[in-house]
Amino acid sequence: MPLKARPEATYIWDLNNSTDKFFLQVQGSGSVQLPDGKIIHVGYAGNNGHDYVPVGRVLRQEGELDEVSMQSIRDWLHINPDRRQWLMNQNPRYIFFDFTDEGAITAQGVPATSEHTLAVDPKYVPLGMLVWLDTRLTANGQRFQRLMVAQDTGSAIKGPARGDIYMGSGKEAALLAGPQKEPGKLYVLVPR
């Protein structure tokens, strides 16, 4: 099972920065700092009905990147400002947001819990199920084993063998979440 990590609420998104604005759209929720310095939280409220197209996959198919992570895409956008709009236009999906007081809110309608909330495809893993996760963190190679709750979904999380770890907030969480892409094992714990 390929396991990724969400940096969605890992740092404050700057809406004056087109790259941050783009990644907030991809993540579907996060924290935003207003011009007066106030920080607000926004969460997924809907989308325009278009399918999500992962821009990292586009860059890999075009031969632009070998390894895809949020950081490598950010670096590519910084190095290629003349192609920024072209890349962003590859994903026609647009997310609508609503305000929330609680940070990242899951598909279950509850706040995400750092390193314990897992986004899944609910066709294969029902929301609310306890799952045991056994993988490694791409950023540092450390083993990551813990009991998690299938609480969230995502447009890029399709199929029985996909998962997305919510790493939490702060710079350290962002550094762990950005490159995360490791195989692992997921055990769904079914009550008897």
pLDDT of res. 158? 85
Question: Using an 8 Å Cβ cutoff, are 115 and 173 in contact?
Answer: no
Which residues are 166's β-sheet partners? 6
Say yes or no to pLDDT of 17 above 50. yes
- pLDDT band at residue 6 using 50, 70 and 90 as cut-offs: low
Question: Using an 8 Å Cβ cutoff, are 135 and 187 in contact?
Answer: no
pLDDT of res. 99? 85
Q: Identify which has the larger pLDDT, 34 or 145.
A: 145
Q: pLDDT (tens digit, 9 = 90+) per residue, 101-158? A: 777 778 888 888 999 999 999 999 999 999 999 999 998 999 999 999 999 988 778 8
Say yes or no to pLDDT of 10 above 50. no
Say yes or no to pLDDT of 167 above 90. no
pLDDT of res. 78? 94
Structure tokens at 8: 């969605």
Going along the chain from its start, the domains and CATH numbers come out as 2-52+91-189 (2.40.40)
Q: Identify which has the larger pLDDT, 94 or 5.
A: 94
Mean of per-residue pLDDT scores for the chain: 86
d(C-alpha 109, C-alpha 107), whole Å: 5
